[in-house]
């Protein structure tokens, strides 16, 4: 198990944003230590940034001291952007695998401690934690927003299942559809565009190179067939000796000739 601890936090927007991250990458307990605004959890900015999270105020515990926030934890790591005399900070990336194991253990409670936006954690506060860590950044800008830092840490520790639905990918053209398209393009462009036999050969070779190598969606194949139709073509797969499965053969003539097919799941993809 894990617990996010924010010490002397000043900004309700940061607290609201952290609440969102806690909900995104939970289960996580959330504790505020001596927040600097008494109205923190009723502030409009907090409510706005935590929008969509249910029972937000019930999920946050407020305590007066860091000692109370750490009392029942089995391990604690303080995140600090400043070097500390006498204590070595570790690169968080190197510690993530071990912390993941602890956080996934129901018998452990790991505290992830973050300081104030203004001055971070004090020496006394870092001394209360078992380990110090930092999030490496580029030299261009070395200061991380509090909510951003917490979100990064929680994301790296998250081992739960993603709940986003699998997105439906594009419907790709079958080899038969691609074959018909290549032959249709070569027949029309070879007759209506090429001005010589050499030009016709160049066009046909170019069509073969392009439409053999590039992944092709069914809707793109249909678009090209519609262009061929606009140029006066009435060719169908049968004109090139290209057959199709029985369901394709039951379609009406316009569909077979021009590739104007239904995109619904009941109709198999076809370019003819």
Do 103 and 133 share a domain, yes or no?
Answer: yes
Percent of the chain with pLDDT over 90: 31
Mean pLDDT of 188-192: 82
Boundaries of domain holding 247: 175-258
User: Mean pLDDT score of the chain, rounded to an integer?
Assistant: 83
- Evaluate whether 33 touches 59 at the Cβ level (below 8 Å): no
Res 261: pLDDT: 42
Do 196 and 152 share a domain, yes or no?
Answer: no
Burial 176-192 (b: 16+ CB within 10 A, else e): bbbbbbbbbbbbbbbee
Percent of the chain with pLDDT over 70: 86
The answer to whether residue 58 is domain-embedded is: yes
5: CB partners within 8 A, 6+ apart: 31, 32, 33, 66, 69, 70, 111, 112, 113, 114
Do 110 and 12 share a domain, yes or no?
Answer: yes
- Evaluate whether 268 touches 245 at the Cβ level (below 8 Å): yes
Mean pLDDT of 164-191: 83
Q: How many alpha carbons fall within 13 Å on the CB side of residue 186?
A: 19
Mean pLDDT of 157-168: 72
Res 166: pLDDT: 67
pLDDT range class, residue 242, cuts 50, 70, 90: confident
Question: Residue 47 is part of a domain; what is its CATH number?
Answer: 3.40.1280.10
Q: Which tens digits make up the pLDDT trace of 87-144?
A: 889 998 998 998 888 888 888 899 999 999 888 899 899 999 999 999 988 888 878 8
- Which element (helix H / strand E) includes 6? strand 2-7
This prediction has a pTM of 0.61
pLDDT range class, residue 76, cuts 50, 70, 90: very high
Mean pLDDT of 182-186: 91
The answer to whether residue 201 is domain-embedded is: yes
Do 150 and 80 share a domain, yes or no?
Answer: yes
Q: Which tens digits make up the pLDDT trace of 134-156?
A: 998 888 887 888 999 999 999 99
pLDDT range class, residue 265, cuts 50, 70, 90: very low
The answer to whether residue 272 is domain-embedded is: no
The answer to whether residue 264 is domain-embedded is: no
Q: How many domains does one find in the chain?
A: 2
Do 66 and 181 share a domain, yes or no?
Answer: no
Do 14 and 101 share a domain, yes or no?
Answer: yes
Do 92 and 195 share a domain, yes or no?
Answer: no
Q: Does pLDDT of 66 surpass 50?
A: yes
Q: Which one has a higher pLDDT value, 166 or 151? A: 151
Mean pLDDT of 171-185: 88
Number of residues that this document lists for the chain: 272
Do 143 and 37 share a domain, yes or no?
Answer: yes
Do 91 and 188 share a domain, yes or no?
Answer: no
Q: Which tens digits make up the pLDDT trace of 12-52?
A: 999 999 999 998 887 899 999 999 888 888 899 898 888 87
Res 2: pLDDT: 93
The answer to whether residue 123 is domain-embedded is: yes
Res 214: pLDDT: 81
Do 113 and 237 share a domain, yes or no?
Answer: no
Do 119 and 188 share a domain, yes or no?
Answer: no
Q: Does pLDDT of 164 surpass 70?
A: no
Do 91 and 16 share a domain, yes or no?
Answer: yes
């Amino acid at each position: 198990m894990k617990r996010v601890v924010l010490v002397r936090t000043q900004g309700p927007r940061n607290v609201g944003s952290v609440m969102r991250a806690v909900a995104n990458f939970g289960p996580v307990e959330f504790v505020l230590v001596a927040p600097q605004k008494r109205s923190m959890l009723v502030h409009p900015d907090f409510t706005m940034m935590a929008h969509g999270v249910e029972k937000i105020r019930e999920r946050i515990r407020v305590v007066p001291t860091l000692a109370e926030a750490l009392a029942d934890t089995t391990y604690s790591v303080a995140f600090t952007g400043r070097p500390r005399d006498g204590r070595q900070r570790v690169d968080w990336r190197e510690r993530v695998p071990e912390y993941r194991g602890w956080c996934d253990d129901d018998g452990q409670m790991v505290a992830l401690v973050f300081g104030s936006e203004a001055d971070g954690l004090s020496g006394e506060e870092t001394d209360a934690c078992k380990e110090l860590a930092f999030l490496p950044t580029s030299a261009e800008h070395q200061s991380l927003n509090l909510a951003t830092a917490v979100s990064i840490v929680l994301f790296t520790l998250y081992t739960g299942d993603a709940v986003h639905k699998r997105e439906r990918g594009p419907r790709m053209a079958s080899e038969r559809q691609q074959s018909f398209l290549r032959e249709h393009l070569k027949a029309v462009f070879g007759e209506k565009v090429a001005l010589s036999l050499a030009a016709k050969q160049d066009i046909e070779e170019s069509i073969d190179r392009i439409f053999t190598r590039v992944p092709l969606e069914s809707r793109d194949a249909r678009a090209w067939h519609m262009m061929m139709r606009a140029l006066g073509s009435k060719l169908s797969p049968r004109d090139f000796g290209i057959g199709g499965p029985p369901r394709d053969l039951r379609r009406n003539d316009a569909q077979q000739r021009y590739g104007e097919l239904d995109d619904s799941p009941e109709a198999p993809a076809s370019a003819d």
